């Protein structure tokens, strides 16, 4: 079995382990400020994917006017 390399605390018997959504390493919910990720690193990598457009939600494109309710030229 590969060695646990996360900087998050290891899961204990009172807190069931679950896989980190990013790296699939064991993670825990309790006492983990990066949850549901195993570490701050995985949390920031995931945020970066949202920020650069790698992750998208399905749906029709939205223009600026429909978001603000105003013309963009105003």
Instruction: Please report the pLDDT score of residue 56 as a whole number.
Output: 84
Q: What is the pLDDT along the chain (74 residues), one digit of tens a residue?
A: 444 455 544 545 567 889 999 999 999 989 999 999 999 999 999 999 999 989 888 888 777 666 666 555 55
Q: Look up the pTM and report it.
A: 0.59
Instruction: Please report the pLDDT score of residue 57 as a whole number.
Output: 84
- Map out the domains of the chain with their CATH numbers: 8-50 (3.30.50.10)
In angstroms, rounded to a whole number, what is the distance separating the alpha carbons of residues 20 and 57?
21
Query: E strands, 1-74, where?
Result: 17-19, 26-28
Residue with tokens 């399905």: 58
């Amino acid at each position: 079995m590969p060695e646990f390399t996360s900087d998050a605390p290891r899961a204990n018997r009172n807190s069931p382990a679950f896989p980190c959504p990013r790296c699939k390493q064991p993670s825990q919910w309790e006492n983990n400020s990066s949850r549901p990720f195993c570490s701050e690193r995985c949390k920031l990598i995931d945020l970066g994917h949202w920020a650069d457009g790698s992750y998208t939600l399905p749906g029709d494109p939205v223009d600026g006017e429909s978001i603000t309710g105003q013309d963009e030229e105003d």
